[in-house]
Amino acid sequence: MKKSEENIRNCYSTWGETYYNDYYSDNSAYPPVHLDLILKKLTGHKGGNLLDIGCGPASMLRHFKDLEFQLFGFDLTPEMVAECKKVMSGLDPSNFWVGSVLNKSDFFRSPNSPEKYDASTCIGVLPHIPEKFDSMVIRNIKDSLNPGGLAIIEARNELFALFTMNRYSGDFFENKLLPKSHIKAELGDEKFTEICSKINKQFRMDLPKIRKGKANEPGYDEILSRTHNPFELKEHFVKAGFREVKTLFYHFHATPPMLKETLGEKYNKISMALEKNPEDWRGYFMASAFLTIGIAA
């Protein structure tokens, strides 16, 4: 895990000052639709203390300043925390610190930290967590909340692979859908490889292009950047002791992304129309990301 965390820190270390501009500004490839969803949920919740886990350059926190919450945040990457403190100037800088979601005590590193929080957000972090730690992370978040506390956790949608018809689809068939061990036991390894190769021929396995780092650091697709199954994540929430667990989809795609150029400049407009209903069942396949939200019991 140490090596994996080091890779993640390396990847994000050069991103502190530009990350917000890349993903949240008017220059970003797609509007940050999740921000409005999150703001709506937080506004509907009673105030108190809010912790943003993996806060990055305060991409979220800067938009929470007008809410009824006292704000806290931590992140694995020191450069991100430095940028966060800059952006959140005016608030006590010790409310923002370096820490990992894997370490329970890292949730309470500020001298101003409360005993428990009333709300927490965790956006863009889960992709970097190895599968075996998923339940521990959800439990850590649950345990850091007061009863009635609200958790909003973002993940990349694994089921989107059934819509993209590219390398993700091939991987999903091979590693999640096909009964691999049964096929291998009945027909042998070579037959399994042949089946996968025939399935892969149905897909554009050369897409999407691998995202590289800006300089020598690893890029987003070169570090662990997993997707999650929304059904399984919901189960983790329930097992950890959350109630009223819901899945809200966002970043809908009007067509498989490889057809983006066919729709031209209308692509985003048509996709945005689907964002109106984050509970649309089509989100399971057509949305590349989702929020799982729950109330700590």
Q: Which residues bind ligand SAM (CB under 6 A)?
A: 8, 12, 54-56, 59-60, 75-77, 80, 100-102, 123-125, 128
Instruction: State the amino acid at position 182 in one-letter form.
Output: H
Side chain identity at residue 278, one-letter code? P
How many CA atoms lie less than 13 Å away from 75 in the CB half-sphere? 27
**Is the Cβ–Cβ distance between 271 and 253 less than 8 Å?**
yes
Q: Nearest distance from residue 212's CB to ligand SAM, in Å?
A: 16
Give me 17's structure tokens: 């000052």
Shortest approach of ligand SAM to residue 80 CB, angstroms? 4
Least Cβ distance, residue 19 to ligand SAM (angstroms): 6
Closer residue to ligand SAM (CB): 223 or 286: 223
Residue given tokens 């100037």 in the structure block: 89
CA distance 12 to 26: 21
Residue number, nearest CB to ligand SAM:
56
Q: Which residues pair with 291 in a beta bridge?
A: 154, 248
| Residue number with CB closer to ligand SAM (6 or 232) | 6
Beta strands 96-98 and 287-296 are unpaired
**Strand 117-122 and strand 145-156: pairing?**
parallel
Min. distance of Cβ 249 from ligand SAM in angstroms? 17
Helix, strand or coil, per DSSP, at residue 118: strand
How would you label 227-241 residue by residue, b for 16+ Cβ within 10 Å and e otherwise? bbebeebbebbeebb
Provide the residue type at 48 as one letter. Answer: G
Adjacent-strand bridge partners of 247 = 292
CB of 14 to ligand SAM, least distance (A): 12
Residue 148 and residue 297 in contact, taking contact as beta carbons nearer than 8 Å: no
**Minimum separation from the CB atom of position 108 to ligand SAM (A):** 14
145-156 and 287-296 strand pairing: antiparallel
Residue among 140 and 166 whose Cβ is closer to ligand SAM:
140
- The least CB distance from residue 127 to ligand SAM, in Å, is 7
How far separated are the first and last CA of the chain, in Å rounded? Answer: 30
Q: Which is nearer to ligand SAM, 35 or 258 (CB)?
A: 35
Q: Please, what is the minimum distance in Å from the beta carbon of residue 202 to ligand SAM?
A: 31
Query: Which tokens is 5 given?
Result: 């965390």
